Amino acid sequence: MRILNASITGMILACFFTNSSLHGEEWNQFRGPGGQGASSAKNLPVKWDNNSNIAWKRKLPGAGASSPISLNGKLYLTCYSGYGTYPETRGTLEKLTLHLVCVDAKSTKIVFDKKIPPAQPESKRVRDHGYAAPTPTTDGKHLFVFFGKSGVFKFDLEGNQIWKTSVGTQTHGWGCGTSPVLYKDIVIVNASVESGELVGIDKKSGDVKWRQEGIRRAWNTPHIVKLENGKSEVVVSVQGKVLAFDPESGKKLWECYGIQDYVCPSIISKDGIVYAIGGRKSQAIAIKAGGSGDVTETHRKWVANAGANVSSPIIHDGHLYWVSDRNRTAYCLKLSNGEVVTKRRFPAQPYASALFGDGKVYIVTRSSGTYVLEAKPDFPILSHNDIDDGSTFNASPIVADGKLYLRSDSYLYCIGK
């Protein structure tokens, strides 16, 4: 009996550690697990260029600003082709094609390239990031992809479409930039551009379970924040307000004074406090989640004069870090009171969101390479790594299996030995 018990115990422990290891390696949505833009991986690369520390690069079938996600040694991302790529005058709108692409991280081969006809008429021009900006998400068995007015799609891991659901038909000159997130059996989508709504979709059937109006001028991905009582809220930053909803029912829970402008950076959280940045007026706000009604006077912790137009922040060791794309400024704020510890001119413009890993902050700029900074309040630059492939790097970087992945409008790069 002892031998049997020991064997069972060993099997349980083996499964536990295997699953834990795999979970730690996967990057399952925009900005990774929990949408925090952080990895627990160690020994991440610090220096690379066109001739060193690039494990491989793969030519992509189209451009895009979406990040890849990783699952079981595969990378999934979206692209667009046929129209609107560089130079912008090439092609006609009728030839626009959307792509869901799977790349094998070991062989570097494209496993499938699923071509999706867009719902027409699409926006004639999307500034800067094009027609494939939302990052896919996965529950480990299926892929969920958002293509703006063309809809929300569910695919299996072989690229076969299971359902498609419309969340609105409107377009915008800045296109669609929000990524879907999963909460239990619900796919949550910020359809601010398409319908001015936050939408909850049954992930099995594709049926809309709930809708909430009032999602104005918001290009940020919804954030799931966990409370001390075990409950969760889905929080989104819109013009003028931060809003929280019950992710299962869609019921509105609370609202708070927010960014007084359109909002692109996504919210992040720690210990039940959400942090929102954004706006051309450069604002940062901290709010304790879990309230009811208007919580501006009761749950707002602080407001700071620091922000970004597009890029989202990370949290590390009691501080909030990011680099603003608008004024090319590196910021470090104290989580406790919003004090601006560092405000320093940055050498180049990022569009991607910051990534934390191995005590470092990775800032991918649009055309001037990737800067690696030490995650300390004075934000020292450790290295500047430039890859010139003749296109733009708009996508946020990810970490999978101990390696760094960068995506440009032309290639997917695996950075590491």
Domains of the chain: 30-415 (2.130.10.10)
The CA distances from residue 141 to 29, 157, 340, 401, in Å, are 14, 7, 43, 19
Which pLDDT value is given to residue 10? 38
The CA distances from residue 328 to 21, 228, 349, in Å, are 37, 36, 6
Query: Of the ranges 7-21, 54-68, 317-331, which one carries the lowest mean pLDDT score?
Result: 7-21
Which pLDDT value is given to residue 90? 67
pLDDT tens per residue across span 27-75: 999 999 999 999 999 999 999 998 899 999 999 999 999 999 999 999 9
Provide the residue type at 226 as one letter: K
Which pLDDT value is given to residue 326? 87
The CA distances from residue 261 to 242, 253, 280, 309, 388, in Å, are 12, 22, 7, 10, 34
Token duo for residue 335: 């989580």
> Is the per-residue pLDDT at 15 higher than 60?
no
With cut-offs at 50, 70 and 90, classify the pLDDT of residue 8: very low
pTM: 0.92
> Is the per-residue pLDDT at 281 higher than 80?
no
CB 38 within 8 A of CB 377: no
With cut-offs at 50, 70 and 90, classify the pLDDT of residue 24: very low
The CA distances from residue 146 to 16, 111, 136, in Å, are 33, 20, 7
Which pLDDT value is given to residue 9? 32
DSSP code for 34: G
Which pLDDT value is given to residue 187? 98
Number of other CB atoms surrounding residue 321 within 10 Å? 25
pLDDT tens per residue across span 347-359: 999 999 999 999 9
Which pLDDT value is given to residue 84? 86
pLDDT tens per residue across span 147-156: 999 999 999 9
Quick one: average pLDDT of 222-240?
97
With cut-offs at 50, 70 and 90, classify the pLDDT of residue 94: very high
